[in-house]
Amino acid sequence: MDRNWFSITGLLYPHIPLKERVKIAQNWYDGVCKGAVPLKWKTKLLPWLQLDWDTLFLSQAADIGAYHLWQDSGRLQRKPFEIYSGHKGDVCRFVLTDSHLISGGSDGKILVHSRRSDMSIELSGHNQEVNCLDSKDGLIVSGSRDQTARVRTLLHTVSRVVKAAKHCPNVVG
């Protein structure tokens, strides 16, 4: 950006704050407005997202939305075609398998959503937010701020608890 441009626009438009003038200038830098935002959040949370072929899975507060990504235009569908919900707090992490979407929340719960039906299973066991989560070959591994790691299978809801080492104050994924 040209510094002289800001001083000139400041003289011409003193009622428009500098921050707003910079935003407008950046949006119109190449002569075309780029101010369109594909998705907006009501709260300032950093989302967890994952791209699976032509579908973008995006967490927003307690929900995870599935959006079509149009390959020909590179645009994102405005409204989700599927919403996975059930957490009482924010979704901290989620992972996709071929058949399931598995999410861990700030409520300490892990939800296993079927991607083929409307079924969901709630797994409890953590007392604080789920910081890390992964799944492979029917095995679910989760770590929490409560200093525990849990290992579960998709076939059985029985879990095994592993206490984090004392030198590791939080299990970090």
0.75 exceeded by pTM = no
Tell me which of 170 and 38 has the higher pLDDT.
38
Cα gap 36→54, rounded to integer Å: 21
The per-residue pLDDT for 58 is 92
| pLDDT at res. 41 | 57
Pairing of strands 49-52, 55-60: antiparallel
What is the arithmetic mean of pLDDT over 52-64? 91
CB atoms inside a 10 Å sphere around CB 83:
11
